[in-house]
Amino acid sequence: MRWTRILADFKIVVRSYVRNPVALFFSLIFPIILIALFGLIFSGSGTAVIPMTVLNLDHNSPASQEFMDALNSTSFVKLSFVNWSASSFAANLGANDDTVGLIIPEGFEANFTAHRPVNVTLYTDPEDAASAGQAVFVVSEVTNAFNLKAANGSAILGVNTENVGSPVYTYIDYLIPGLIGFSILTSPMFSMVDIAASYRKEGIFRQLSLTPLTRAEWLSSHILWYMSLTFVTAGIMIGAGIVLFGAHVTVSLGLIPFLVAGPFLFVSLGMLMGSVAKTPESAALIGNIVTFPMMFLSGTFFPVSDFPPGLQAFAHVLPLYYVIDGMNQVMLFANAARALTDVLVVFGIAVVFFLLAIRFFQWRDE
């Protein structure tokens, strides 16, 4: 590995890219479009607020009031209160064409303050899956926040209070790490698979094989390029999320390892997929088979913790999951230990894919 050669090739990659105005435009505009689109579809603004009918059996106790306030402040739901009896609640919901209802049980405050388990009951209509999903998401997030608070309250030493008063994360906050992960995955995967096939077909690899440039150096310069691109797009996405939707995410140095390791992993994987395939068509097919499940099941658009258990288990074998989870830990939960584990996993997988890619990709035909 020689840096002079990596840099010489890096210059070629950068020039090829920035001299392609369409590609450049899309790689800068696409992140904004993604954030805007998903932010508008799913965030609390506009039509995405769902009505929720609430029966408070705890006589408007302070704890139950606090729970309502927390639900309200997500701006995902609009609460309306009723005094129906608990036994006729479901029937009345149906009669009123309401699809989402919530019962706060009697003794909510007493149990909560005494740290005894207590359940709120959420009614949803499976036929209105979108509202149901959003209601489950919002209520479980608020419940989590309450549990965190309760846990802090019961901490033995009583000093670990940084989560008290922490904001309730809105969907846009989850969306930012998710969509950064999405672009870390998609832009190198699609283009490396394509480059692998087209450079072979056009004889560019054959041409490069006549120079001292090694395959590891060539791959490294591409990794370097996608890292640079990732830094730019992540910046754009965070900026757009904050400006357009008032997202509150933490931007810290802890993000850098993911913006480095992520492209390292997916450039290598893309090249590996493009190299094992014999034809450009099969390369594209293999690339899609690998990319699409990861695109949707790694916590890009919805937190993996909301998935059914089977899908959660599947998500844990997807490399992108660790990239997105790690960025969530850094940007939302300030959980450095878990972020470190995630980044080590990503680096480990990246090194393996890098070595495999170099092993499988050949400059020359037999």
Contacts with another protein by CB under 8 A lie at 4-5, 7-9, 11-12, 15-16, 19-20, 202-204, 206-207, 209-213, 364-366
Closest separation between CB of residue 14 and another protein, Å? 10
Nearer to another protein (CB atom), residue 163 or residue 362: 362
Nearer to another protein (CB atom), residue 141 or residue 217: 217
Closest separation between CB of residue 222 and another protein, Å? 13
Nearer to another protein (CB atom), residue 19 or residue 116: 19
Nearer to another protein (CB atom), residue 31 or residue 274: 274
Nearer to another protein (CB atom), residue 2 or residue 78: 2
Closest separation between CB of residue 24 and another protein, Å? 11
Nearer to another protein (CB atom), residue 75 or residue 209: 209
Nearest-angstrom CA–CA distance, 281 and 127: 40
Closest separation between CB of residue 282 and another protein, Å? 20
Nearer to another protein (CB atom), residue 26 or residue 81: 26
Closest separation between CB of residue 4 and another protein, Å? 6
Q: What is the 3-state secondary structure (H, E, C) of the chain?
A: CCHHHHHHHHHHHHHHHHCCHHHHHHHHHHHHHHHHHHHHHHCCCHHHCEEEEEEECCCCCHHHHHHHHHHHHCCCEEEEECCCCHHHHHHHHHHCCCCCEEEECCCHHHHHHCCCCCCCEEECCCCCHHHHHHHHHHHHHHHHHHHHHHHHHHCCCCCCCCCCCCCCCCHHHHHHHHHHHHHHHHHHHHHHHHHHHHHHHHCHHHHHHCCCCCHHHHHHHHHHHHHHHHHHHHHHHHHHHHHHHCCCCCCCHHHHHHHHHHHHHHHHHHHHHHHHCCCHHHHHHHHHHHHHHHHHHCCCCCCHHHCCHHHHHHHCCCHHHHHHHHHHHHHHHCCHHHHHHHHHHHHHHHHHHHHHHHHHCCCCCC
Closest separation between CB of residue 240 and another protein, Å? 29
Closest separation between CB of residue 274 and another protein, Å? 17
Closest separation between CB of residue 141 and another protein, Å? 47
Closest separation between CB of residue 188 and another protein, Å? 18
Nearer to another protein (CB atom), residue 15 or residue 115: 15
Q: State the distance between the two ends of the chain, measured CA to CA, in whole angstroms.
A: 25
Are 181 and 261 spatial neighbours (Cβ–Cβ below 8 Å)? no
